[in-house]
Amino acid sequence: MATIGFVGAGNMGEALIRGLVGGKVVRPSELWISEPDGARRVRLVKEYGVKAAADNVDLARRCSVLVLAVKPQLLPEVLGVLGPLAGREKLVVSIAAGVTLGTLAAALKARLVRTMPNTPALVGEGATAIAWGRGVTAADKTLVGRLFGAVGTTVVVPESLMDAVTGLSGSGPAFVFTVIQALADGGVQAGLPRATALQLAAQTVLGAAQMVLATGVHPLQLRDQVASPGGTTIRGIAELEERGVSGALMAAVRAAAARSKELSQK
């Protein structure tokens, strides 16, 4: 395994580190971080056994793989520093939302990969989309698959679909949190204690998602298995359809994807 350096070690960077170390994908000694927050840097070194570089220049000189895990607005400054140090012998993997491979290629000569993970990676259930960039080798693809496979599932898409990915899986957790909250509120309206309603709502969403993934059965078929003729479920589904819940969720994904495209063009 190559020596991997995290440029920035915020929540998503830490999630990757936790998955890599916890899953024994890499040894802690093979992971380096460059993190400006001193207290956070000390904690990560102590908790995961990673090594801390003095700065981004030091990190780039030590590591053959660089993971860009900084906020998009900070990336121009970071790319300016890394530009002279990230040649073709380096693999650079970006998790910065809305930053295109073209933007990276204009600043770096390295082999490039653009990814879009989502926040459930923090609990090992992430969904990461990967778009291969310039110069990526078969070994690079295997490595990147292992990196993000440590915190969930991965899919490979052309970069042209990254805005759609952002709208669906990038923003999607927030939409699902809204659904969970609404289900819990409905339970409270029906008489359940708030804590019980929230626990049941969250577990119901989790279980339903696992059924879709584990069985491979279409969601509508699974829905039909629950919706008995004249029963409670079909009555509830009728209310959802009357109030346009399906259309609202579809519109939310489209709106988020459109906003992602706007931001990537700035």
Kind of pairing, strands 111-116 and 152-156?
Answer: unpaired
Give the angle 180-181-182 at the CA atoms, nearest 5°: 90
For the record, the structure tokens of 53 come out as 């570089």
pTM given for the model: 0.93
Q: What is the pLDDT of residues 161-220, one digit of tens each?
A: 999 999 999 999 999 999 999 999 999 999 999 999 999 999 999 999 999 999 999 999
Q: What is the mean pLDDT of the chain?
A: 95
**Which residue matches tokens 């042209």?**
160
Q: Which domains does the chain have, with CATH numbers?
A: 4-157 (3.40.50.720), 170-264 (1.10.3730.10)
Q: How far apart are CA 50 and CA 59, in angstroms?
A: 12
Q: How far apart are CA 73 and CA 92, in angstroms?
A: 18
> What is the edge-to-edge ordering of all strands in the sheet holding 51-52?
51-52, 31-34, 4-7, 65-68, 91-94, 111-116, 126-132, 152-156
Which residues, at least 6 apart from 213, have a Cβ–Cβ distance to it below 8 Å? none
**Stretch 12-39: mean pLDDT, rounded?**
93
Amino acid 1: pLDDT: 58
Percent of the chain scoring above 90 in pLDDT:
93
Per-residue b or e along 45-83, where b marks 16 or more CB atoms closer than 10 Å to that residue's CB: beebebbbbeebeebbeebebbbbbbebeebeebbebbe
For the record, the structure tokens of 64 come out as 């053959």
**pLDDT tier for residue 19 given thresholds of 50, 70 and 90:** very high
Q: How far apart are CA 4 and CA 63, in angstroms?
A: 6
**Stretch 23-28: mean pLDDT, rounded?**
91
**Stretch 73-85: mean pLDDT, rounded?**
94
Amino acid 97: pLDDT: 87
**pLDDT tier for residue 56 given thresholds of 50, 70 and 90:** very high
Q: What is the pLDDT of residues 112-161, one digit of tens each?
A: 999 999 999 999 999 999 999 999 999 999 999 999 999 999 999 999 99
- Where helices occur in 3-157 by DSSP H, the ranges are 11-22, 38-48, 56-62, 75-82, 101-107, 138-149
CB of 160 within 8 A of CB of 131?
Answer: no
